[in-house]
């Protein structure tokens, strides 16, 4: 009898999980989780992300008990897994959800898929359209995908195979001894994701559109679902449908339309990396790779450890170090500072920043990093002023002082302008002069005719076609 081998990866949930659902239909299936140590050391990956995904894995293992199944841990890479399947199974079929990820994963995944060919089925996930590279129809299809029925739990398993793989308990014991993290880092799992969604829709979303820009307020007002989407502890479709059901009944529709728009953006950005995996290493507009050809390790180290001499920026970095999350506006400012004021190539800074994000989603991260570095060719460059953001988002400097207590006695104005004359770290750049230098350099190439021609092609491949306001459906 055919054994269905379901390989799970970043889709750590029981519901609306295509590989799990379709792989279970013959009721003779096993579920395998691929744990590859080297994957967690790849471009931008880190142990805080592993910890979060492991929380999700534990809950999924519990949920699978209900259907008489469990997670079997396979330790190794895709090639090892291929050999194991080959050695242990004759009559089998593999089910796996697609996942757009970094090169290390992509290369192994491609080899694995190509080897098994007719013995493997890859399912769409994360709102992606695997074979659709046409941006016009992509946008139209998205609503259709989001409105499809949410898949139920897998069928009961009657599989009796004696599987010689790492036992879940000993895997957990091994992992836990290596994973110690700050308590402020988000915890994973479907029940936490559901609670977050419920409280967000019920009351936390009040004022979402304006409060999301503040590093102080956004911690509570934003949905905080991002790592759950990254590790698939909840499906975007489920969230989209729950939101649509509630929208007509809720007062603050504008806030929730903004949230809905972001669900679309999530998929739109991941699709960019799926369409052009080279974006992990190359600028969307290739001419921009000639802009910043040198880097300064010492300067980058000061930036990532929050020692730039600009209190607001340093406070953001300290917050990110302990919490593993910060809001969109601050991420944009942090990146803008590195790429414009410090004039460092995004390829050097992006993975360091990614490692701090529990929600690191390569498709979103890499595209956003490129946008905030002015290298896409299709977005107008925006240089964030750290001074202005400091004054706008934390006028009394309470938040800054809570993170940098050594500045407690200083006047907010002095803190915003980083005029601390020897009482704080020296500034690593001159804000105004560095912004002017960057603006001149970026605009000097943007005026070029060849640049504009190439930018048109970039737009055709990656530009958003969504001009209309999103409707309730």
For binding to ligand FAD (CB under 6 A), which residues are involved? 212, 222-226, 229-230, 259, 262-263, 265-266, 269, 327-328, 331-332, 335, 357, 359-361, 364-365, 368-369, 372
Which position has the token pair 């949410």? 150
What 3-state DSSP class applies to 94? strand
Q: Which is nearer to ligand FAD, 172 or 464 (CB)?
A: 464
Smallest separation (angstroms) from ligand FAD to the CB of 418: 22
Smallest separation (angstroms) from ligand FAD to the CB of 401: 24
What helix, strand, coil percent values describe the chain, rounded to 5? 55, 5, 40
Q: Which is nearer to ligand FAD, 269 or 340 (CB)?
A: 269
Smallest separation (angstroms) from ligand FAD to the CB of 149: 22
Q: Which is nearer to ligand FAD, 3 or 218 (CB)?
A: 218
- Compute the distance between CA of residue 426 and CA of residue 412 in angstroms, rounded to an integer: 18
Smallest separation (angstroms) from ligand FAD to the CB of 420: 27
Check the CA dihedral 461-259-230-281 and report its sign: positive
16-20 long-range CB contacts below 8 Å, 24 or more apart?
A: 16/150, 16/151, 16/235, 16/237, 16/238, 17/97, 17/151, 17/154, 17/232, 17/235, 18/97, 18/123, 18/124, 18/125, 18/151, 19/95, 19/96, 19/97, 19/121, 19/123, 20/95, 20/154
Q: Which is nearer to ligand FAD, 78 or 269 (CB)?
A: 269
Residue 298 in tokens: 């010492």
Q: Which is nearer to ligand FAD, 229 or 310 (CB)?
A: 229
Q: What pairing do the DSSP bridges indicate for beta strands 120-123 and 3-8?
A: unpaired
Smallest separation (angstroms) from ligand FAD to the CB of 317: 13
Smallest separation (angstroms) from ligand FAD to the CB of 261: 8
Q: Answer yes or no: are the C-beta atoms of 114 and 257 closer than 8 Å.
A: no
Q: Which is nearer to ligand FAD, 54 or 368 (CB)?
A: 368
Q: Which is nearer to ligand FAD, 4 or 361 (CB)?
A: 361
- Compute the distance between CA of residue 110 and CA of residue 294 in angstroms, rounded to an integer: 33
Smallest separation (angstroms) from ligand FAD to the CB of 412: 25
- Compute the distance between CA of residue 329 and CA of residue 321 in angstroms, rounded to an integer: 17
């Amino acid at each position: 009898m055919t054994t269905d081998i379901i390989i799970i990866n970043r889709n750590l949930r029981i519901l609306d999980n295509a590989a799990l659902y379709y792989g279970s239909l013959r009721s003779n299936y096993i579920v395998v989780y691929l744990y590859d140590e080297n994957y967690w050391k790849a471009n931008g990956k880190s142990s805080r992300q592993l910890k979060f995904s492991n929380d999700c894995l534990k809950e999924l293992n519990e949920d699978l008990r209900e259907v008489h199944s469990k997670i079997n841990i396979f330790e190794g890479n895709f090639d090892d897994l291929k050999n194991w399947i080959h050695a242990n199974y004759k009559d089998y079929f593999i089910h796996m959800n697609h996942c757009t990820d970094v090169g290390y994963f992509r290369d192994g995944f491609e080899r694995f898929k190509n080897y098994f060919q007719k013995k493997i089925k890859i399912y769409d996930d994360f709102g992606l359209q695997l074979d659709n590279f046409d941006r016009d129809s992509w946008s139209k299809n998205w609503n259709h995908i989001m409105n499809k029925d949410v898949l139920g739990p897998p069928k009961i398993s009657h599989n009796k195979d004696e599987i010689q793989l790492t036992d879940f308990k000993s895997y957990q014991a091994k992992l836990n001894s290596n994973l110690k993290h700050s308590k402020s880092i988000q915890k994973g799992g479907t029940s936490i994701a559901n609670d977050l969604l419920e409280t967000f829709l019920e009351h936390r979303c009040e004022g979402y559109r304006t409060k999301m820009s503040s590093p102080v307020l956004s911690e509570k007002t934003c949905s905080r679902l991002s790592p759950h989407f990254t590790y698939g502890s909840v499906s975007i479709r489920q969230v989209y449908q729950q939101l649509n059901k509630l929208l007509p009944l809720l007062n603050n529709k504008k806030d929730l339309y903004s949230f809905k728009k972001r669900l679309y953006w999530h998929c739109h950005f991941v699709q960019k990396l799926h369409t052009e995996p080279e974006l992990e290493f190359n600028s969307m507009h290739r001419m921009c790779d000639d802009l910043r050809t040198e880097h300064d390790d010492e300067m980058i180290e000061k930036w990532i450890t929050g020692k730039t001499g600009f209190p607001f920026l340093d406070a953001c970095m300290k917050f990110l170090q302990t919490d593993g999350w910060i809001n969109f506006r601050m991420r944009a400012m942090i990146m803008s500072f590195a790429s414009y004021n410090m004039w460092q190539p995004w390829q050097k800074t992006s993975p360091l920043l990614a490692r701090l994000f529990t929600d690191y989603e390569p498709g979103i991260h890499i595209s956003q990093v490129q946008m905030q570095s002015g290298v896409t060719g299709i977005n107008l460059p925006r240089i964030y002023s750290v001074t202005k953001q400091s004054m706008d988002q934390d006028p009394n400097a309470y938040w800054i002082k809570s993170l940098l207590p050594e500045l407690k006695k200083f006047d907010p104005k002095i803190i915003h302008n980083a005029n601390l004359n020897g009482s704080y770290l020296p500034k690593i750049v001159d804000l105004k002069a560095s912004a002017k230098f960057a603006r001149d350099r970026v605009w000097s190439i943007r005026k070029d005719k060849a640049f504009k021609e190439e930018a048109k092609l970039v737009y055709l491949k990656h530009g958003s076609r969504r001009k209309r306001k999103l409707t309730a459906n």
